[in-house]
Each structure stands twice: as C-alpha cells, then as structure tokens.
Structure 1
Amino acid sequence: MKNETTIAVKLITTLSIVYVASNFYRSSIAVIAPNMMDELGLTHEELGVVGGTFFIAFAIFQVPVGIFLDRYGPRKTICGLMFFAVLGSAGFAMASDFLELTAARFFIGVGCAPVLMGSLVIISRWLSAERFAFYTSLIVGIGGLGNILATTPTAILTDMIGWRDVFWVASLFSAVSIIFGYLIIKDAPADHAFHSRKVESMKDTLGGVIGIIRDRQFQLVFTINLVIYGTIMSIVGLWGGNFLRDVYGLDLTARGNILFWMTVAVIGGAFFYGYLDGVCKSRKKLVATAAITTIILLVILGSIPVVSVWQISALLILFSFFGNYGVLIMSQGRSIFPERLLGRGIATLNTAVFLGVFLLQSMGGFIIGTFATEDGTAPLEAYRVLYLSLAAIVGVALLIYSRSKESKTPKEKAPEAA
C-alpha cells in the first residue's frame, strides 16, 4: 500500500469537497430564515418543519444507504444519490409555498444522505483504525466549509441576488462535486475483502440490520448520538438566527457574522475532539465530559438576562465548539461492527444524528411558536425554554449512555484486507 499520508490527503480532499455541498444544505436556511418567513408567510412551526425535513429524509434513508454501501460500494452510492440534491436545490429555488419548500428539502436530504457515511466506510478501508477519529474530524472539519458558506457568505449573496438564486448556485456546485467525486473515489484497496465479498440475499441483508438494532451497545450509543448534533443544529442550523434577531435586534449581516463564527467553532470542535480521541485513554469519559460541558453552557444560555452582543456571541461560540463531539461516537460505533456490516452499522447509527436534528429543530418551532407575538417575533422567555429543554434532553441521553462499555482498546488496529 502507498504511504498512508499520500492516500489520506487524496481521499480526504476529495470526500471533503463532496461533503461541502451536503453541509451547506444542512445550515443554509438559518441565516435566511427571517427572509423566507417574510416572503412566503411561513409560521415558526412551518419553518421548523422545513428545516427539519432535510434531516428526517437523512434519517429515513440511512438504513437503505447502509445496504447500498455494503452491496454497491460508496462510490456509486454517494454519486448516484447526490443527484437528488441537485434536483432538490433547484426545486427549493423555485418553491412558492410551505409544501414545495418541504418537498424540495426532502429531496436534498435524500441526496446528501450517503456522503458522510460513505466517506467513513472509505477511510475505514484505506486508512489505519487508530487514527479513524482524526481522519473523520478532518472530513467533518474541511467539509464544514459548507456550513461556513451558509453564514456570512450566504447573507451577503442573498443581499446581492436573493435567496432563491443562492440555491441555483448550490445546485450547480453539487453537480460539479458529483463529477469530481466519481472520477476520484475508489471503494477499497485492490486486495481488500470488499472486492471478493459474497453478495447477501435481501433476507440476510435485512437480518444484518435487525441484528445491529438489537445489539445492546448499539442502542446505548444510538441514544447519545440522537442528541449531539441535533442540539448543535437546533441553534446553529436554524433558531440561532431568529434568536439574534428577536432578542438582540440584529440584521441579516450581523446575524450571519455571528453564525459564521459559531460554525467555525463547530468545525474547530470536531478537530479538537478528533485530536483528544488519539491521546485520551478513555473515550467514554471524554464523551461524558463533553456532554456535561454542553449542558452547563445551555443552562447558562437559558438563565442569563439580555447581555451585550459580544457576551452572547462568546457563549454561543463556546457552545458550538464544545458541543460538537459526534466524531467520538462514530469512532465508538465503528468498533461495534464487523467488516461485512460496516456500511449498515455506521449508517444505522447515523440515523440517530438526523432523526435527532429533525425532532429537536421541530421541537424548537413549537416552543418558540407558543410564545410568538403578532409580528412574528418571540421574546427572550421562548429561547430560554428552548435552551433549558435542550440541556435536559442531553442530560437524559448522557445518563443512558453512561451504561455503555468503554470502546477504546489500548491499541486499535485496522481491519486486515483479505
């Protein structure tokens, strides 16, 4: 095998470019949400559903994606399904009401569903297992440029050409990323077991999924994975923009600037935890520490009065940084599954990520909508309830996760190619 660093640079660069488009779509409506609400007359509840639909589509398609990854390989799965994101982005640009926006977001979610999981399958086959969390953090971090593009750059571009044309541009970028990915991505090394695998019957394929779901360790890890990214995306990906407008009176550009730095912090958090996973002896204790830190920051956000803009910005940025510890869970999940179930295992685990985002973003819509005034804004109390509710949910998930086993061995090894 070639030098691992050379292979890692090639693979991670390629996969990250494809992942940029997926990440843009995740966060793309946060900064423009008030503009969309004003133009199309959306309620807070409807906005919550539009935002969360992307993630419920993700969640629904994770099991099929896992099956496709194991049967057909990441290359065909990623590039084939991403075409739906191209169509969905174009549909979002043309949407005229709540139902059309929701349908378009669903298509985008289907298209983006295989990108990260396919990437994790690829790096698990090409690169060493002991650096899996670090490599994952690189893909998540570099791909996070898409989240950054969804903040200040989107705010500026929206002011220039309107939010609809932003999604036409995104559609074009997605199409280009598909072509680039198809030319570069390879499923596994030439001597890897993937190429000589026996294609399972559909009964055996579904039986593998059922076995994964029944696994006790999977269930415990699934629980914490349900709330980590969902908590982050409830604020960074949707309600943060409304909070900064309703409570602090910030305009589109000012909101975009703060969301920009929050997104940078999310990316930094992925790198931070990816590095710590390589130096800390206990992954479980690291996850617990990260969750407790997140709870503390949410309680502070839900308890303080209106403060200066720089103070609330600092708190939101710290929350975004310390709350993004999902790379640790994906590394723990990877240790549960054998090679033949790898695609299905991590994709099924990833269902929790996007199901959680849908549920928590939608929950935010109902909470804030309950407090909303006639002019469509919501008072500080609404966001206090949201922050404290998220803190309580993370706390419950942590208690359940605490019953899981330590997943980190003294020296993790890559699965042998056969």
Structure 2
Amino acid sequence: MSGTSAVWRSRERVPGQLSGLAVLCLVFVPYALGHYLSCLLRTVNALLAPQLMGAAALTPAELGLLTSAYFLAFALAQLPVGLALDRYGPRRVQFAMLLLATFGTLAFAGGSTFGQMLVARTLMGLGFAGCFMAAVKAVSTWVAPARLPSVQGYLIAAGGLGAASATLPVRLFLQFADWRWLFVFLALACAAIGLLILLLAPTPPAIASKRLDWKVLADVYRHPAFRETAGLVLVPHTVFFGVQGLWIGRWLAEVGRFPEQSVAWLLYLGMAAVIFGAISVGMVTEWAARRGIDAITVAAAGVALFVAVQVGIVLGWRPGMALLSVLFMLVGTITGIEYAIVAQAMPPALTGRASTCLNLLIFSGAFVVQAGFGQVLGLWQPDAAHHYPAVAWQAAFGVLVLLQLPGLAWFAWRRRRAALAGPVPEVP
C-alpha cells in the first residue's frame, strides 16, 4: 500500500512547475484526445443514421431517443463526476471513466435491438461524461488564467476535429468494413487514451476530501456570472449540441435532397468550421478584452448571429441550405465561451463543480432538444421514402428559435437597465 502511495506522490506536480512544452504534451494533448473521441462518438450517429435505422428498424423518434441517451447519461453523471474531479483529480477520474466508455462502445457494436443499443449508448455517455470537464479542470490547474480562453478554444477545436472525423473519414471507413467494426476500433481507442492519461498526465498536490455540499452547488448557481452566462448562452448551447449531433445531416438529406455523399461532405465542412470557430472565439475574446469589451458581450453578439442563421433555416432559403448548414456549425461554436467565462469567475477549488453545473444544464437540455426534435417531426406523416415534409422541419427549427429569443431579450434588457443606472462591475 505504501508503495502505491509513493507512486501516486511521485506523479504530483505544483502548478507553475511545468514548462509550456510539458503542459502541452502531458496535460493538453492527452485530455484533448479524450475530448476528441467523446465528440466523435457523440456525433457519429448523424452519418450512421441510415445504417442504425436499418439495423434495428428504428423510427425517427427512436433514433432521436437513442442518440440523445448519450446526452442524458452525460447530465446524470455531472454532479458525481464533478465532485470526483475536485476530490481525486482529473487523471485518476478520466482513466476510470474511459474504461467504462470502452465497455459501452463494445456493447454498442454488438447491439441488435433498440433496447440493447439504448443501454450501450447510455454506458458510452456515462463513460465520456468526464472528458471535457476533466480537460477543463486540468488546463485550469496548469494554465495561467489569462490564457484560458485561447487554450479552451483549442480544446473545443479538438472536439470539433473529433466531430469532423465522424463525417467523411467514417464514410470512407464504411467502404471497407461494417459500422460495427467501427465501434470496435473506437473502443480500443478509448482504452488506449485512458492509458495515455494514466501514464503521462501530472497530478496536482492532494487536497482534503470533500463531501457533496449542496450549499456549494447552490452558491455556484447563484453566482452572478453563472446566472448571466447561463441565461444568455445555455439554450443556444443545447440547440447547437442537439442539432449538430444528429438532425442537421437529416435536414440536408430530407429537405435539401442531398445524396448521402454530399451530406457527409457538408458535415465535414461544418465540423472543420467548428474547429476554426472554436479557435477564433478564444482569439476574438482576448482581442475584445484588451479593448475593454467583456466576454459576455462577445457571447451575446455571437448568439444573436446564431439565431439569425436558424431564422434562415426556418424561412426555407433552399438555395442557401449548404451555406446555412456550415454557418450553423461555425457560429454555434460561440456557445462554448461560457466555460471560459465561468472558469475565470470561480475560485480554483470550485472550477470542477462550476463546469459540472454548466454541463448538467447543457446536456440535460441537449437531450430534450435532440429527442424533442424527433417528436416534433413525428407530428407529420412521412412519404414513401420515410422523409418528412419541409414544413415539419421548419416547425421544429421554429420552436428552437422561439426558445432562444427570451435569453437575448433578457440580456439586452439587463444591459440597458445597467447603462441607465450607471457603471457596474464587469463580468469577466
């Protein structure tokens, strides 16, 4: 036992002790790979929808529920995972979680019924639930606060690269092997990344064990920065996740009548736009901060543009469908800025639970959006090819637009009231 403790202590490092290169290789890259794989498996159903529906005779509502189970599992795991991150550190927690993801991914590969695939997808979601939080916790520990927006932008870009890998690369893989073999290889990748984190990632000095303190969580939710950020960005973030991971590809296929090859290409371009957008958000945020513009104002401008793109979809601008799909992905990356805003506003000891509270709301909402979208489509009758009419898609996107408008209006009203009342402390 003492030998094991010595091994753990030998992994401990003090923040500021690692060089920039060491932080890149030992902290950013291993955790970014976990987030990469998490986003790949979160979005891969957008391309595999025809194969999955054929393998288990799924309806659109069942497909939406199956895919969104990933988000529900994410949400259910947030509180215990966030507490574990603050108590045991991201290295140990992430290794254990990725082992669970390995089993879930293998089970999905062998599933043949809706029930089996639903359970396996839920296990996958539980296993990957800590990937982004662990990465945020790790970079918040080892990276200077002033650099957090850019570094977290790079982290989101790694997730975008994973989502991009779920498009054309997956389609190319399917030309040589069945979709079940794809999940077998992804399960092996889960195990490999877990071992990489266990072997490479440093461990900060141990802190005193803490129980789940509901008062602390309530304090997080009551924090002004948290409430203002969530009120503006939360619903758009859930829309971005819920639609990006499944329905944008089906919209292109059923309303735009794009062939599956073209859908894969457009999804690939969209995910490339996510990478570019994530990096740009961090750079723009830091540029704006140097000019006295706070991050929440940058977020408000981005959310307004994101809603405008969705209005274009609702209006049925058919000649611009390909452009709108890419813009949806590009502009939607602005929603990731809320992690940096909240991380900067919270004490270091609470960054894990702050990310937890955000994720609990985001992934619960994404589950509702992704599953609910399929339910709205189901209000219309499909044609012989099982395609739903354009008006069904317009209605579903229209509901999402209406859900996002109150947050923008509330933010604008608060800012106008604050301007009339005089200077107030800025939200970081």
TM-score, scaled to structure 2: 0.88
> Within the alignment, does 1:289 sit opposite 2:301 as a pair?
yes
AA of the residue aligned to 1:209: L
> Within the alignment, does 1:384 sit opposite 2:394 as a pair?
yes
> Within the alignment, does 1:395 sit opposite 2:405 as a pair?
yes
- Report the secondary structure of 1:378's partner residue: coil
- Matched ranges for 1:192-341 at <5 A: 195=205, 197-200=207-210, 202=211, 205-280=213-288, 281-307=293-319, 311-341=320-350
Percent of counterpart pairs with the same letter? 24
- Report the secondary structure of 1:295's partner residue: helix
Moved more, 154-163 or 112-121: 154-163
- Report the secondary structure of 1:30's partner residue: helix
* Unaligned segments of structure 2, at least 5 residues: 1-15, 416-424
- Report the secondary structure of 1:32's partner residue: helix
> Within the alignment, does 1:407 sit opposite 2:417 as a pair?
no
Of 51, 60, 68, the residue aligned with 1:35 is 51
Q: What do the CA deviations read for 1:50-85 (whole angstroms, capped 9, x no partner)? A: 111101111111111110011111111111111111
Provide the rounded CA distance (Å) in 2 between the counterparts of 1:260 and 1:175.
Answer: 26
Distance 1:55 1:223, change over 3 A: farther
Distance 1:252 1:137, change over 3 A: same
Cα drift, residue 146 of structure 1? 1.3
Q: What do the CA deviations read for 1:347-382 (whole angstroms, capped 9, x no partner)? A: 111222211211111121011121241532111111
Distance 1:50 1:120, change over 3 A: same
How many pairs does the alignment contain? 397
Alignment correspondent of 2:7: none
- Matched ranges for 1:37-186 at <5 A: 37-186=53-202
Alignment correspondent of 2:372: 363
Cα drift, residue 253 of structure 1? 2.1
Cα drift, residue 223 of structure 1? 3.5
Provide the rounded CA distance (Å) in 2 between the counterparts of 1:153 and 1:142.
Answer: 16
Q: What do the CA deviations read for 1:368-416 (whole angstroms, capped 9, x no partner)? A: 12124153211111111122222222222333455487422xxxxxxxx
Provide the rounded CA distance (Å) in 1 between the counterparts of 2:94 and 2:51.
Answer: 32
Provide the rounded CA distance (Å) in 2 between the counterparts of 1:196 and 1:235.
Answer: 40
Q: What do the CA deviations read for 1:150-171 (whole angstroms, capped 9, x no partner)? A: 1111122223312211111111
Q: Residues 225 and 352 of structure 1 are in contact (CA less than 8 Å); yes or no, is this contact kept in structure 2?
A: no
TM-score, scaled to structure 1: 0.90
Q: What do the CA deviations read for 1:3-57 (whole angstroms, capped 9, x no partner)? A: 7532342222222112211111110100111221123211111111111110111
Cα drift, residue 100 of structure 1? 1.4
* Unaligned segments of structure 1, at least 5 residues: 189-194, 409-418
AA of the residue aligned to 2:281: Y
Alignment correspondent of 2:21: 6
Q: Which has the higher contact order (CA 8 A, sep 6+)?
A: 1
Cα drift, residue 216 of structure 1? 4.7
Moved more, 226-235 or 126-135: 226-235
Moved more, 271-280 or 212-221: 212-221
Provide the rounded CA distance (Å) in 2 between the counterparts of 1:3 and 1:89.
Answer: 34
Provide the rounded CA distance (Å) in 2 between the counterparts of 1:148 and 1:8.
Answer: 25
Cα drift, residue 196 of structure 1? 5.2
Alignment correspondent of 2:10: none
Moved more, 90-99 or 151-160: 151-160
Provide the rounded CA distance (Å) in 2 between the counterparts of 1:259 and 1:168.
Answer: 23
Provide the rounded CA distance (Å) in 2 between the counterparts of 1:84 and 1:196.
Answer: 25
> Within the alignment, does 1:351 sit opposite 2:371 as a pair?
no
